[in-house]
Amino acid sequence: MLMFVWMGWTMGRHHHDHDHGELPPGPTCWPVVGNIFQVGWSPHESFAKLAHKHGPIMTLWLGSMCTVVISSSHVARDMFKNHDVVLAGRKIYEAMKGDQGNEGSLVTSQYNSHWRMLKRLCTTEFFVATRLDAMRDVRARCIHRMMHLMEEAAHSGTTAVDVGRFFFFMAFNLIGNLIFSKDLLDSEMERGDRFYYHAVKVMEYAGKPNVADYLPILKWLDPQGTDTTTSTMEWAMAELLHNPRVLKKVQMELRSKIGPDRNMEEKDIENLPYLQAVIKETLRLHPPLPFLVPHMATDSCDMLGYNIPKESQILVNVWAIGRDPKVWDAPLLFWPERFMEPNTVDYKGRHFEFIPFGSGRRMCPAMPLASRVLPLALGSLLHSFDWLLPDGLKPEEMDMTEGMGITLRKALPLKAIPVRYRGPLNLNE
């Protein structure tokens, strides 16, 4: 009995600390554990369901941690336009820290002068247009190497390959070339396979994978985008194989505009609007991270009439925002044509119904690189190969379940057979 009295008093005292303003609404919580039992196996889905009942801005208590969950574009707009500075802190879990803490990482550093220095370095040296243009040939080499290895592994179109595995090596070697001007992994090497296996397990068990935990010298840059790139590419291929109409349409665009006599190049991207729409639709339905990296209130503030306490955690449910039926027609349908309409939205942080890379000061600095790599890699594979499902599997029979973890990987890795394209696509079929 005394234990329950103590738990109630402790929880009541904690809530009293925030009584200077009304918190956003939320479900009733238990003493000590709060709403932890309502998180579920897929927190983004659980929180989206709770938001239907409690509203697009709600409070959850994860243990003693006050967590504010944002699940709509209009609340996200208010956050990033009116409270971007005060909510620019980071709530970092122990699993996301390396041996020397989190202050070396651009993603996990608190908003201070050190973070501003890292951000300036990335935006003026690594991800500026001139630097990206200079690395164009390197990206092409990494992608063509991936395609060659895929074709070899498929034994001339007879064997299914683990698509995500090859995407991972390509993305990781892109980062290696950006920093060290060399490949860091080789899919033909045993250690490459081991690294891929362990990176996937880290993502599943510890949350967001951070290569800096393995290679401390990379900590300041935080090249964890390898897994987010991999998941986006894998989902794009899965959705295309699941939707043959879209696959045929994007291949028609690629092969009619590029032709059969050369490989796709980066300069082709601007002339391939449907390919770009496929990438956008993939990012809408399957954002690399279902939640943006957790923000933290560096001071208390008032948002839409509610008090956001100092040091509370802010979770932006990008997965829910991208599937909001109030914003998107047929939100669960993979339909790239929605991004072909005039005045379409983009992912550069200005349209809050579509923020897979975030917005404001803490927006992903590697977005300019991703906007080049994703369409080039996907387009190259679709231009040069036809793709088949293994073992007579039909598109409608594909398992499109999301896996557990912070990044939205497929529950079952995508396996498909690449067959080298040898002739013109029959546009009249």
Pairing relationship of beta strands 161-162 and 415-420 according to DSSP bridges: antiparallel
For residues 232 and 163, give the distance between their C-alpha atoms in angstroms, rounded to a whole number. Answer: 12
| Domain definitions of the chain by residue range | 113-283+365-420
User: pTM here?
Assistant: 0.86
Does the annotation flag 122 for ligand binding?
no
Task: Give yes or no for a contact between 240 and 250, defined as CB atoms under 8 angstroms apart.
Answer: yes
Question: Residue 330: what residue type?
Answer: A
* Tens-place pLDDT, residues 153-186: 888 778 999 999 889 888 888 877 777 777 766 6
Please report the pLDDT score of residue 54 as a whole number.
Answer: 98
The least confident of 11-20, 284-293, 403-412 is 11-20
Directed axis angle between helix 273-285 and helix 225-242, to 10°? 110
Instruction: Please give the full DSSP string across 74-116, using - where no structure is assigned.
Output: HHHHHHHHHSTTTT-EE---GGG-BTTBSTT-TTTS-SSHHHH
pLDDT for 40 equals 86
Residue 69 has pLDDT above 70, yes or no: yes
pLDDT at residue 222 above 70?
no
Q: Quick one: 333 exposed, middle or buried, by C-beta within 10 A (0-12, 13-18, 19+)?
A: exposed
**How distant, in Å, are the alpha carbons of 234, 261, 390, 414 from that of 394?**
18, 31, 9, 14
Quick one: pLDDT band at residue 216, thresholds 50, 70, 90?
very low
Q: Give CATH superfamily name and number for 113-283+365-420.
A: Cytochrome P450 (1.10.630.10)
Residue 280 pLDDT: 98
Q: Answer yes or no: is pLDDT of 3 > 70.
A: no
What is the model's pLDDT at position 217?
A: 35
| Mean pLDDT of the residues in the chain | 84
Report, as an integer, the average pLDDT of 261-289. 96
Per-residue CA distances from 80 to 13, 284, 363 (Å): 31, 19, 10
Cα angle 79-221-216, degrees, rounded to a multiple of 5: 125
Output the pLDDT for position 229: 83
The CA distance from 112 to 103, in Å, is: 10
3-state helix, strand, coil in the chain (%, to 5): 50, 10, 40
In this predicted structure, the answer to whether residue 415 has a pLDDT above a threshold of 60 is yes
Instruction: For residue 133, count other CB atoms closer than 10 A to its CB.
Output: 10
CA distance 132 to 31: 52
Shortest CA distance to 184 belongs to which of 218, 220, 213?
218
Q: What is the mean pLDDT of residues 100-117?
A: 76
Task: Give yes or no for a contact between 115 and 89, defined as CB atoms under 8 angstroms apart.
Answer: no
